[in-house]
């Protein structure tokens, strides 16, 4: 039986210690969930919906475009002050399902910065029976 397993030296490196320090610092400086544009996609039989948290952007900073089945959502904000210039942006491109009613896509921005884009699904055509009509032949009058 070997005691090496219990006594073996652990490997320490300056790089590993530095990365641990950066990880701890990152958790303290950037709280979870902040600085991100969270999104949710809902696809049911009745509707297709996209919900985004865009609370960091003003309504004028947002653009929504529909090109064919491609739904593009963009946000861009520029801030200039005496200390400098900053810019933040995001872009989401979502391929809509084929059964979405593209003419009925709508959007809503709540006061707390939640952007909702919805579109109902097209009604599916149910199978039906089609009656057969017989063509009538016109009789020519006898001479």
- 119, with CB counted inside 10 A (0-12, 13-18, 19+), is buried
- For residue 28, is pLDDT > 70? no
- 6, with CB counted inside 10 A (0-12, 13-18, 19+), is exposed
The 8 Å CB, 24+ separation contacts for 109-116 are: 109/54, 109/59, 109/62, 112/55, 113/53, 113/54, 113/55, 113/56, 113/57, 114/51, 114/52, 114/53, 114/54, 114/55, 115/50, 115/51, 115/52, 115/53, 115/54, 115/62, 115/73, 116/49, 116/50, 116/51
Rg (CA), the chain: 31
CATH class of the region 39-120? mainly beta
Q: Percent of the chain at pLDDT above 70?
A: 69
Mean pLDDT to the nearest integer, 12-41: 58
Mean pLDDT score across all residues of the chain: 80
More confident residue, 137 or 85: 85
Mean pLDDT to the nearest integer, 119-125: 84
DSSP calls for 70-119:
EEEEEEEEEEEETTEEEEEEEEEEEE--TTB-GGG-EEEE-TTSEEEEEE
**pLDDT (0 to 100) of residue 20:** 62
Placement of tokens 């320490």 in the chain? 12
- For residue 57, is pLDDT > 70? yes
- For residue 67, is pLDDT > 90? yes
Find the range with the poorest average confidence among 24-33, 78-87, 113-122, 130-139. Answer: 24-33
**pLDDT (0 to 100) of residue 82:** 86
pLDDT-derived band of residue 35, with 50, 70 and 90 as boundaries? very low
89, 26 Cβ separation under 8 angstroms? no
What pTM did the predictor assign?
0.59
């Amino acid at each position: 039986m070997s005691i090496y397993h219990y006594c073996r030296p652990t490997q320490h490196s300056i790089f590993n210690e530095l990365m641990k320090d950066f990880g701890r610092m990152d958790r303290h400086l950037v709280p979870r969930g902040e600085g991100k544009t969270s999104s949710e996609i809902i696809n049911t039989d009745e509707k297709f919906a996209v919900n985004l948290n865009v609370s960091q952007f003003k309504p004028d900073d947002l653009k929504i475009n529909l090109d064919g089945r491609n739904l593009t959502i963009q946000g861009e904000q520029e801030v200039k002050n005496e200390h400098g210039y900053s810019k933040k942006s995001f872009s989401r491109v979502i391929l809509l399902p084929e059964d979405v009613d593209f003419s009925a896509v709508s959007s809503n921005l709540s006061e707390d910065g939640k952007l909702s884009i919805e579109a109902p699904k097209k009604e599916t055509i149910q199978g039906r029976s089609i009656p057969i009509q017989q063509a009538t032949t016109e009789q020519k009058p006898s001479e």
